[in-house]
Every structure is written in structure tokens, then in C-alpha cells.
Amino acid sequence: MRTIDWVDGCPLIVDQTVLPDEVRFLSLSTVDLLIDAIRRLAIRGAPALGVAGAMGVALAARLGNELGIDVDDAVRRIRAARPTAVNLAWGVDRAAAYLPAGPAAVLAEALTIRDAELAASYEMGRRGADLLQELAGDRIRVLTHCNTGGLATVEYGTALAAVRSLHERGQLTDVLVSETRPLLQGARLTAWELRESGIAHRLVTDSAGPFLMVRGQVDAVVLGADRICANGDVINKIGTYAHALGARAAGIPFVVVAPESTVDLETKSGTDVDIENRAGGEVLSFSGRRTAPLGTEALNPAFDVTPYPLVTAIVTESRVIRLDRGDLP
């Protein structure tokens, strides 16, 4: 099962808003449907967003050709659908470079990106597992945050690919999955993926992680990134920074696994990044049920910045950046 693919002239995605209750596929036949799917996180995860951006441009190019829609405007709107994720803009730009060559060339580039992301996932899994073994030995208990599995990529994953790879090597002894409020990607998506793959795991609240680390129940934290800055600062799902503080206090490795497309050398450091504040309603409800009294307001930063000194290493499909040894992205 692929999280995103190109079927019958359109992007076909797994709707992540209805998991784990239902596995529903959505055919995104218009640019507005695609943008809406990106905005409401029906498709999410840095690598998957790169593919979605490129396929969005392929869709716009086809519809421009067939129906005469304004392709440049469509490309601009797709690119701006999520401000923090650098991969979306990256995928859009790569595909858009082929617009002068026509819709078929744009589609070919989008499919190239899809295939490259697929190959990159397996490579990140292998390199990530190698590093985790090197840092934490041959019987490893990991904690992961948010969803970095097949659902965040085309298949297999980024950080969760490393976890899968450790499992395949017989070196994984425990997985703690933080639920990842407010949208519960850990509880809804990661727990679902691990169950489907037969990998034993337990769910924990987001604020329990640092305590479980200092109590000696975690050997390494491994998670993804939405953007990696030139100095090594990591922009990722809210809660990443708190987990990094916990890992440092407990003296365990904090490993980020993400594709090269996440590395953004144009962004000098995390202080330069516009952190997306999403709607307060996400915090005020839990699985569709209101949690706070009517009229309560919420502040909902969707991402945070983990400063490079807290990151042991960043693993991509082509290299291991040992920030703890002074390497730079």
C-alpha cells in the first residue's frame, strides 16, 4: 500500500484523517482537492508532501492543458498550502521546472521524485539502524514521536524506517510511541503502522517521554524532521524539542532521520523559521470530543525548533551528519 501514488491521471492518497478507524483512498482530481488534502493533513509528512507537491504540479499541468486552468496560479497556491514544510515547496519547484516541456515531462519528474523517495526510505532505514546500533548496542529500546512511517513517505518511512530495520535485524526490544497531541499522529498512525507490521509497541503521553528516559526505560530517541537548517537546527512536530531536552538530561542519543530534501541550507538557523500556528480547535478537542469549556481559546504551535547542540546526529539517505562531532548539514 502506497501513501501516495499517481493513478488514472490524478494523485491517489490514503486519507490519514480517518485512520485508524478506516483505510480510505482519495483521488485528488482537482487542484483545490489537493490543496485541501494538504491543509487538513489528509496527506502529511515531509517526504510525502514533496511527492504531493510534485504530483500537484503534474495535475495542474494536465488540467491547464485540458481545461485551460491558470497553471501558474495553481502552482503558487499548492506551494503555499503549508508554510513550514520545506519539502512541499521543494517538490513543487522541481516539477514546475519542467512546465515549459509540457504535462508529460512534469509528470515524469513527479514519478521520478516518487521513486527516489521510495528508494531513499529503505536507505534511511538501513543507515539509521546502523547508527542506532553503533550508539546504543544490539538490544535497543526506542522512543519515537509523531508519524515518520510509510504514511509520512511513499512507503517504509524515515525514522520509523530505521525502527523497522532494527526490528528486521532482531535488535529492537521495545518501542514507545508518543501519542503526539493535538492530532494524535502517534496514536492514530504510528501505532496502526506498527501493528500492521507486527512490531510490539506501547503508547505513551507526550509529556511522559522525558521521565521514562531518565528512569532508564529508553536507549535512544529517533524521530523525523520537517526542515533541517544550515546550522543543524531541526524543525519538527511540536514536542520534538521537549523530547530532545529529555534525551540530553538522560544522556541518551537523539537521532533525526529525514531525507536530503529536508535539508534547507538557505535557512541559517531555527530562529529564521516561520512556525505555523494552527487552529486552536485542534487542541480544544480530542478525537472529535470537546475537552475544554465552550469559549476557551488555545495556542497551537504545530512545530518547534530543536537547537543543534541537542541533536546527536541526522541521518539521510546518503549520509550521517554527526552533529555531536561538529559535522554540519
Where in the sequence numbering do the catalytic residues fall?
Answer: 226
Give me 254's grid cell: 537523539
* Number of residues forming the site for its own copies (CB under 8 A): 54
Longest dimension (CA), the chain: 61
SS3 92: helix
User: Which of 300, 308, 312, 329 contacts its own copies by CB under 8 A?
Assistant: 300
Q: How far are the Cα atoms of 46, 79, 241, 288, 289 from residue 282, in angstroms, in the given order? A: 20, 23, 20, 9, 10
Pick from 58, 64, 18: nearest CA to 34: 58
Residue with cell 509520512: 152
Give the C-alpha separation, 176 to 214, whole Å: 14
User: Which of 204, 222, 225, 314 contacts its own copies by CB under 8 A?
Assistant: 204
For the chain, first and last CA: distance in Å? Answer: 32
State the nearest-atom distance from the C-beta of 295 to its own copies, in Å.
Answer: 7
State the nearest-atom distance from the C-beta of 199 to its own copies, in Å.
Answer: 12
Residue closer to its own copies by CB (options 291, 318) is 291
Of residues 29-48, those binding its own copies (CB under 8 A): none
Of residues 235-294, those binding its own copies (CB under 8 A): 238-239, 241-243, 245-246, 249, 280, 283-293
User: Does 127 interact with its own copies (rule: CB under 8 A)?
Assistant: no
Give the C-alpha separation, 33 to 69, whole Å: 14
Give the C-alpha separation, 253 to 241, whole Å: 14
SS3 186: helix
User: Does 224 interact with its own copies (rule: CB under 8 A)?
Assistant: no
Residue closer to its own copies by CB (options 9, 20) is 20
Handedness of CA 119, 124, 129, 130 (dihedral sign): positive
State the nearest-atom distance from the C-beta of 12 to its own copies, in Å.
Answer: 23
State the nearest-atom distance from the C-beta of 287 to its own copies, in Å.
Answer: 4
Residue closer to its own copies by CB (options 98, 192) is 192
Give the C-alpha separation, 36 to 43, whole Å: 10
Of residues 177-196, those binding its own copies (CB under 8 A): 178-179, 181-182, 184, 187-188, 191-192, 195
Beta bridge partners of 235: 227, 305
State the nearest-atom distance from the C-beta of 266 to its own copies, in Å.
Answer: 22
User: Which of 39, 211, 268, 318 contacts its own copies by CB under 8 A?
Assistant: 211
User: Which of the stretches 104-112, 121-129, 200-208, 314-322 binds its own copies when contact is defined by CB under 8 A?
Assistant: 200-208
CA torsion, points 108, 113, 119, 120, in degrees to nearest 10? Answer: 170
User: Which of 8, 251, 274, 299 contacts its own copies by CB under 8 A?
Assistant: 299
Of residues 78-117, those binding its own copies (CB under 8 A): none
Give the C-alpha separation, 264 to 107, whole Å: 24
Strands of 127-188, DSSP E: 140-144, 172-178
Residue closer to its own copies by CB (options 101, 249) is 249
Given the rule CB under 8 A, which residues bind its own copies?
20, 176, 178-179, 181-182, 184, 187-188, 191-192, 195, 201-212, 214, 238-239, 241-243, 245-246, 249, 280, 283-293, 295-301, 304-305
